[in-house]
Amino acid sequence: MHGLSVPASLDYFRQQVKNWQAEWQGTIEDFVSQAMRGSDGAHDISHVKRVVENAIRLGVDEQADPEVLLPAAWLHDCVCVSKGSHLRSQASRMAAKAAGEFLIGIGYPAQHLPAIEHAIIAHSFSAQVPPELIEAAVLQDADRIEALGAIGAARCFVTSGTLGGEMYHPTEPIAGERAWDDRRFAVDHFFVKLLRLPATMKTQAGKRLAATRAAWMVSFLRQLADEAGWPVEQLDEAIENLDQLNS
């Protein structure tokens, strides 16, 4: 690709990202690494770094403001509440508050704080707060993309293991007679939540990326079914039901 075909706004966004990184990233990354020490394997500093990369990737197209988007992405999980906890639905509010206090402490431009806090609160599935700003929509998509594809599958099995769950139901891997139970079975979580995420994406680039990654997850399930000897018809039926839901 040669520079002449790149629209000016793209260059401008990239430059803004670089400037922001030079000024703030080191301090914020130190804080986040410290704050997330001891959090579970699906919500660690590598997750945060990938969400930041996803946010930059989607933020270009949406002309998001890096001064809001980047601190929100870096700090979105800075208070980690485990999936089993009753405080779970409060986690993103707690993270927004901690992020706000931290940013004030380092002298971050105060006019951005309300937007940053909103984006952090709205990123969470369980908070059920609709994103009202493009930066919030981008962050929500960037975080949901992390629940899809190979990374999404890996994170799902890690979380399930942490909560004492199993890979799949021993006698009826794909629910038919029984109800889905994604607290106990990792594969159930694909059907209860993960494969439904593409329909919730807010940005165009996010929708495309989510669709690609969800398609990979379906082939992963087919491979799993093949290796483990599950009845394929039942898997096909469950996937068809999801397709109807998503269309």
Distance in Å, CB of 92 to Fe ion, minimum: 6
Cβ distance to Fe ion smaller for residue 62 or 77: 77
Q: Which is nearer to Fe ion, 117 or 143 (CB)?
A: 143
Q: Which is nearer to Fe ion, 77 or 117 (CB)?
A: 77
CB closer to Fe ion, 81 vs 242: 81
Q: Based on CB atoms, which residue is closest to Fe ion, 47 or 185?
A: 47
Three-state SS for 158-223 is: HHHHHCCCECCCCCCCCCCCCCCCCCCEHHHHHHHCHHHHHHHCCCHHHHHHHHHHHHHHHHHHHH
**Least distance (Å) between residue 188 CB and Fe ion:** 21
Look at the block and give the residue holding tokens 């997330």. 36
Contact status, residue 145 vs residue 209, Cβ threshold 8 Å: yes
Tokens of 97: 């508050």
Minimum separation from the CB atom of position 123 to Fe ion (A):
6
Q: How far is the CB of 77 from Fe ion (least distance, A)?
A: 4
Residue 247 C-beta: closest distance to Fe ion, Å: 27
Interface ranges with Fe ion (CB under 5 A) = 77, 143
